[in-house]
Structures are given as structure tokens and as C-alpha cells.
Amino acid sequence: MRLPVPPLLVISDRRQAGGSLEELAEAIFGGGCRWLSLREKDLPAAERLALLSAVMALGRRWEATVTVHEDVDAAVMAGARGVHLPSSGNPEAARARLPGGLIGASAHSAAEASALLGSGADYVTISPVFPTVSKPGYGPAIGLDGLEAIAAQVPGPVIALGGINAANAPLCLSAGARGVAVMGEVMRATDPRAVMEAMLAVISRGQ
């Protein structure tokens, strides 16, 4: 499946956000982002489904792709555009329930990425590329050389994740990533729309 355009994935974390996720989604869509994944895994299922439905309503206004992390049931019930799985997830099983959906998965090595793509994932995130405030103990960071090595080995699209900002996003694309993903850079921003606009400006120049 073709990845959303522009190739910038925002991953939510309401605990880092300054306001509601609905307000933040409105700001990032207004800033040009067209791909958001709801990653609120600690919410009760019913609350996560309600939040996903609300964010999807905003996404429809902007013709944006809204997916959800891990919760295939919520994706099916809300009619989400897809799901993002953990490295232990089963893309083939997710595809059976979301035959037209965008199926992604988290990976941290070339072997893991290749296995997930070989099982039917449309893309993988590779992380952490750089040290990240959102997950300070999650690493070590692989750097641009590590990202380039993985992107060259795997049979499908790689999305760079971890410490991504407007300064290094173009470098990730030059290293072979098909897109970039951000969380804290947007969640903690006082002006998330401006962050989106700045990132998309440099991404468009780097493609």
C-alpha cells in the first residue's frame, strides 16, 4: 500500500501534550500533516475507541490518514485507516481483519524489519535513530549510519523514529528512510502547527 503523503507520521502521547489530543490533531492537520497514529495504549479500550473516533472525525475533514497503535479491534470498530503493531505483532493476522488497511510495525534491527515486512507489513519504523526525550532509556541510538545500513537491507519502506526534528529529518531521508515519525517534538510544542509547517518545509526540500 502507498504511504500517506507527505511522509510524516505523528505518533500521539497525551501525557506529553499541552492540551487535548483533539486540539493537537486539529493543529497538526492544519499545519499540513496527513498521517497520525493514536498511541494511547494505557487507556481503557472504550475510552481509546472514543478518542480514536473523535480524532478520525477531524482527520476526515483534512483527508488525513488516522491509524491506531496495536488495537486492531478499535481500528475495525472505528473504521480506522490502519494499525501500527509492536515488533512482536502479526501483520498477517492484522491484514486479515483490515484487508484494505495500512499495516505498520515497530522494528529495531534489519532482521526484525525484514521479518515484519515479509509477513505483510506495509512499512516499519526504525528506532531510535537519535537520543529521544520521550523514551530516554530506549536505545542505544543507531544514528544515521545505522539507519542507512538497515534501509539498504530491508525489502520495504523504513520510517525513521526517535529524536527526529526539522534539522535532522532531511538527513534521515538522505540515509534511505522513506519518511520520518515524530512524537515528543510535536506533543510538547507550544505551537504544534508551526512545528509541522517547519518540518514539512524541510522534508519537501529533502525528497
pLDDT for 54 equals 96
Q: How confident is the model at residue 140 (pLDDT cuts 50, 70, 90)?
A: confident
What's the average model confidence in pLDDT over 2-15? 94
d(Cα 175, Cα 192) in Å, to the nearest integer?
26
Domain assignments of the chain as residue spans, ordered by start: 8-206
User: Using one digit for the tens of pLDDT, what is the confidence trace for 175-205?
Assistant: 999 999 999 999 999 999 999 999 999 998 7
pTM over cut 0.75: yes
Q: What is the mean pLDDT of the chain?
A: 94
Assess contact for 122 and 156: CB atoms under 8 A: yes
Output 139 or 49, whichever has higher pLDDT. 49
Beta-strand ranges (E) seen in the chain are 8-11, 35-38, 65-69, 82-85, 102-107, 123-126, 158-161, 179-182
CA distance 206 to 203: 5
Quote the percentage of the chain above a pLDDT of 70.
96
Q: Which CATH architecture has domain 8-206?
A: Alpha-Beta Barrel (3.20)
Position 74 scores a pLDDT of 96
Give 16-63 pLDDT, tens digit per residue: 988 899 999 999 999 999 999 999 999 999 999 999 999 999 999 999
In this predicted structure, the answer to whether residue 161 has a pLDDT above a threshold of 80 is: yes
Residue 31 confidence (pLDDT):
96
